[in-house]
Structure 1
Amino acid sequence: MRNDAYADLLSGMSSSTVQTEYEVLHLMRQCAAQFGFGNFMIVRFPLGENQRFAERLVLSSWPADLVRRYDNAACFGASPLVERLRQTKLPLFAETGRLMQPENAEKADLSWDGMDNTFAAHLHTTYGESFIVTLSGGRDLPDQRETADIYLALVKLFECLERTFEAGASARDKLSAREIECLRWAAAGKSSDEIAIILGISAYTVSSYFKTATRKLDAVNRMQAIARAMRLKLI
């Protein structure tokens, strides 16, 4: 695997010009294709079994419907993927269905077509925050040398992602106290109407706070704004 394409991939990941999640997403697609995988995801390590999958998802090429159904199944925190990565620093490779779904869980309406097997690694930011990075596809088990190559590529790619965290850290100074309150209550599952009652303001004002917070966090919607605020430890 150590060919010109692989060398170019590593070189691209070493560039200090990679500053946005979009650029990391592009590199992640290149990385997956380089090693014969069709899908990938980067997700924050769950702190408990009941934490929502979609809220912890950072980057992913999973079909949106699969993300929704897996989130509704509420089995991420109790999955063998999480349990096995808690116990090792080494990457692992296994059948996706068995890795993502607890054995004793009720059968969820999940389809892993084109994602038969998954390569997964447990990575940490400089400050110790834990993430899971996966590549999924129909390919066979990589040998020892290719496993090392994949792992190195994922570590370098994760460093690029961490740079985007630092680039967005200024959002801490940009968000107002009210915007942070609205995001915090939304993360707790409250609707705009409920947040309006809690804060003693109108639902229209709550909606306005969400719009400005979403813009300041460079997010495309409320869910992504909440996820980025959590990643930046604003809420």
Structure 2
Amino acid sequence: MPLDLARFENALADIHQRFQKKSDPLDSWVIAQGVAKEIGATAINLGGTNLEGDQPGWGRSSMSDGWLERYEDKKYHLVDPFIAALTAGQSEVLTDCGTLPRSDPAYDLNHDLKSYGYMSLYGTMYGSADNGYRSIVVYCSDKSIAEVQKEIGLPKLAIVHALIAAHTPRPNTSDGGGQFVVRIDPLSARETDVLRWLACGFRNDQIALKAGIAEVTVRKHLLSARRKLRASTREQAVAIAIRDGWITL
């Protein structure tokens, strides 16, 4: 049954009190998962941009390990409409899983979600496209969007999302709890080759000779790869590329 206004107001007060009592930043993530479960979610996703707001920066998910491994293996972040909506500064994004046509770039992602038991996703964004950092909260359900609307109401769900977003800080890199890095720019074939040769111990001039390009072009590819991987050094870029499966030795 849909929540009546009085009950909903009490629920919001309870959620607020839970967050106020937290003693550690990671408690916010635990509380967010509990709140989502109590209102019928099968999982919840949180995420945010970098501080400038022009790139996705981090994500946190309580979806199944099997699905998260599938998502990473297929590099679905490259076609994820929720990530695209976050970086574009949209206010909300929603989908019924298993419904997109083959012509849609997110077809495989959308239909894979259904095969893992997720029937719909509803996300709302917080922050401004004109003012740097933004965050997103996504409610994952084993019911359709129409059923979620009937049982909870998307406007009410958006208010719960706002409370979660307000009380859940950007995680530290040392935090645990379902955290993962989100990257939207794929490495080009040439960037992958340059990183692989660098990992094998070749110097820039040797890489240039092997690739048949100028040494200055090698440096440009390395700088581009570092930007995409958010690496401060070329050595860190190689380590991240190996870790994330962009290159193998």
Partner SS state of residue 140, structure 2: strand
Q: How far, CA to CA, are the matches of 1:102 and 1:43 in structure 2? A: 27
- Match for residue 135 of structure 2 among 109, 131, 134: 131
Q: Is the CA contact 1:24–1:161 (under 8 Å) kept in the aligned structure 2?
A: yes
Match of 2:13 in 1: 7
Distance 1:8 1:110, change over 3 A: same
Partner SS state of residue 27, structure 1: helix
Alignment of 1:202-221 (within 5 A): none
Q: Is the CA contact 1:80–1:98 (under 8 Å) kept in the aligned structure 2?
A: no
Bigger radius of gyration, 1 or 2? 2
Could you tell me how far 1:38 is from its partner in structure 2? 1.0
Could you tell me how far 1:130 is from its partner in structure 2? 2.0
Distance 1:190 1:106, change over 3 A: farther
Match of 2:62 in 1: 61
- Deviation string 1:64-99 (CA, Å, 9 cap, x unpaired) is 232122122223243333344556643333214568
Match of 1:158 in 2: 165
Q: How far, CA to CA, are the matches of 1:147 and 1:21 in structure 2? A: 27
- Match for residue 122 of structure 1 among 116, 120, 125: 125
Deviates more, 1:104-113 or 1:89-98: 104-113
Q: Is the CA contact 1:21–1:161 (under 8 Å) kept in the aligned structure 2?
A: yes
Could you tell me how far 1:129 is from its partner in structure 2? 1.0
Amino acid at match of 2:126: L
Could you tell me how far 1:22 is from its partner in structure 2? 2.7
Distance 1:20 1:43, change over 3 A: same
Identical amino acids, percent of aligned pairs = 12
Q: How far, CA to CA, are the matches of 1:60 and 1:103 in structure 2? A: 24
Could you tell me how far 1:120 is from its partner in structure 2? 0.4
TM-score (norm 1): 0.55
Q: Is the CA contact 2:49–2:87 (under 8 Å) kept in the aligned structure 1?
A: no
Match of 2:93 in 1: 92
- Deviation string 1:17-61 (CA, Å, 9 cap, x unpaired) is 43534311222122212321110111234856xx7xxx732x210
Match of 1:190 in 2: 238
Q: How far, CA to CA, are the matches of 1:132 and 1:187 in structure 2? A: 32
Q: Is the CA contact 1:38–1:114 (under 8 Å) kept in the aligned structure 2?
A: no
- Match for residue 45 of structure 2 among 35, 41, 44: 41
Could you tell me how far 1:106 is from its partner in structure 2? 7.7
Q: How far, CA to CA, are the matches of 2:35 and 2:234 in structure 1? A: 34
RMSD: 4.2
Partner SS state of residue 121, structure 1: strand
What are the ranges of 5 or more consecutive residues in structure 2 without an aligned counterpart?
176-230, 245-249
Distance 1:77 1:21, change over 3 A: farther
Q: Is the CA contact 2:25–2:168 (under 8 Å) kept in the aligned structure 1?
A: yes
Q: How far, CA to CA, are the matches of 2:158 and 2:12 in structure 1? A: 13
Amino acid at match of 1:115: Y
What are the ranges of 5 or more consecutive residues in structure 1 without an aligned counterpart?
169-182, 195-221, 224-235
Q: How far, CA to CA, are the matches of 2:28 and 2:123 in structure 1? A: 18
- Deviation string 1:122-164 (CA, Å, 9 cap, x unpaired) is 1239x73122221101232315983222212222221212387
TM-score (norm 2): 0.52
Does the alignment pair 1:22 with 2:23? Answer: no
Q: How far, CA to CA, are the matches of 2:171 and 2:84 in structure 1? A: 28
Does the alignment pair 1:79 with 2:80? Answer: yes
Distance 1:160 1:116, change over 3 A: same
